[in-house]
Amino acid sequence: MDTLSSIDELSFPVALRQEVIADSTSDHALLEATRTGDEDAFAELVSRYRNQITSYIYRMTNDYDGAVDLAQETFVRLYRAVDRYQSNYAFSTYIYRIATNLAISELRKRKRRRLVSLTGFFQAHDGRESCELDPADERPLQDSELVAIERRTAVQRAISTLPEKYRAPLILRDVEGRSYEEIARILQTSEGTVKSRISRARDFLREKMRAYL
């Protein structure tokens, strides 16, 4: 039988130690700490998800300032409802659900207010075909970077014209890379519905992006 010569030999296996460390810094642990009033834990959660949430809402709304505002509101609501959080699902599902609801609510507000956008003047009123304000640029392309920028702009614009029920699942799947299961939880619907809506959204997008395919 081996005898311990020093206290350093009394150590846990490496795998177990890593698991403990990972658990103490998991989203759930941070949220539990936030629940007990640990402001630093909440700040850590904000720093982890601020870019993801801002980017996601920006893809949904196509408005950076509004996206930043809604992302902040997402964290404020998360903080207020921290006691109601149930750790059945991943924390990211929870926060993305809040962000999605806020973004969809904002889109519906815009629709009610009938915000007049510069691009809106050039959209067809029957909703069948949109002709965005996109004057032809006769100048020769400088380099491939400009082409990529133009392509991304076109994609973002095409996404922003999708109906909201198709927009959210498409962004979550093809931009954020979420699984169907997680998207279904975020949107609180079935996986079959999510798959159907994503397929339909891609059909819409293909029609709008035909020139780039």
Nearer to another protein by C-beta: 111 or 192?
A: 192
Q: Which of 151, 181, 190, 192: binder of another protein (CB under 8 A)?
A: 151
Q: Are 53 and 95 in contact (CB under 8 A)?
A: yes
The answer to whether 67 contacts another protein (rule: CB under 8 A) is yes
Number of shown-chain residues binding another protein (CB under 8 A): 41
The answer to whether 155 contacts another protein (rule: CB under 8 A) is yes
Between CA 169 and CA 18, with CA 46 as vertex, the angle to 5 degrees is 95
SS3 140: coil
Q: Which of 103, 159, 168, 184: binder of another protein (CB under 8 A)?
A: 159
Applying CB under 8 A, which part among 24-32, 67-75, 116-124, 182-190 lies near another protein? 67-75
Nearer to another protein by C-beta: 19 or 39?
A: 39
The answer to whether 132 contacts another protein (rule: CB under 8 A) is no
The answer to whether 180 contacts another protein (rule: CB under 8 A) is yes
Q: Least distance (Å) from another protein to the CB of residue 76?
A: 5
For residue 40, how many C-alpha atoms fall within 13 Å in the half-sphere facing its CB? Answer: 1
For residue 80, how many C-alpha atoms fall within 13 Å in the half-sphere facing its CB? Answer: 7
How far, rounded to the nearest angstrom, does the alpha carbon of residue 147 sit from its chain's CA centroid?
25
CA 159 to each of CA 40, 60, 89: distance values in angstroms, whole numbers, following the listed order? 36, 8, 28
Q: Least distance (Å) from another protein to the CB of residue 142?
A: 19
Q: Least distance (Å) from another protein to the CB of residue 124?
A: 23
Between CA 202 and CA 194, with CA 171 as vertex, the angle to 5 degrees is 65
Q: Please count the other Cβ atoms lying within 10 Å of the Cβ belonging to residue 209.
A: 16
Q: Least distance (Å) from another protein to the CB of residue 117?
A: 19
The answer to whether 167 contacts another protein (rule: CB under 8 A) is no
Cα gap 83→32, rounded to integer Å: 9
Tabulate helix, strand, coil % of the chain (nearest 5): 70, 0, 30
Binding site for another protein (CB under 8 A): 43, 46-47, 50-55, 58-59, 64, 67-68, 71-73, 75-76, 79-80, 148, 151-152, 155-156, 159, 170, 174-175, 177, 180, 195, 198-199, 202, 205-206, 209, 212-213
